[in-house]
Chains A and B, each alone.
Chain A
Amino acid sequence: MSRSNNSSSAKDFLSDVEKRSHQNLLECLQCGKCSGGCPVASEQVPGPRQLVAEVLAGLKQKALSNPLVWHCVCCGTCLIRCPVQISIYRVSSALCEIAHEEKMAPSVPDINLFEVLFLKSVENYGRLKELRTIAEYNLRSGHFLKDVDKGIRLMLKGAISPVEIVKGWEKDKRVSSIFEKARKIG
Chain B
Amino acid sequence: MKGFEPKLIAFLCNWCSYVAADAAGVARFVQKPNVRVIRVFCSGMVDPSYVIKAFASGADGVLVAGCHPGDCHYLAGNIKALRRSFLLRKLLAELGVDQQRFRLEWIAASESPLYAKVVNEMVEEIRNLGPFISKAKKLSKGGA
Direct A–B contact in complex, judged by CB atoms less than 8 Å apart: no
Binding site for B on A (CB under 8 A): none
Binding site for A on B (CB under 8 A): none
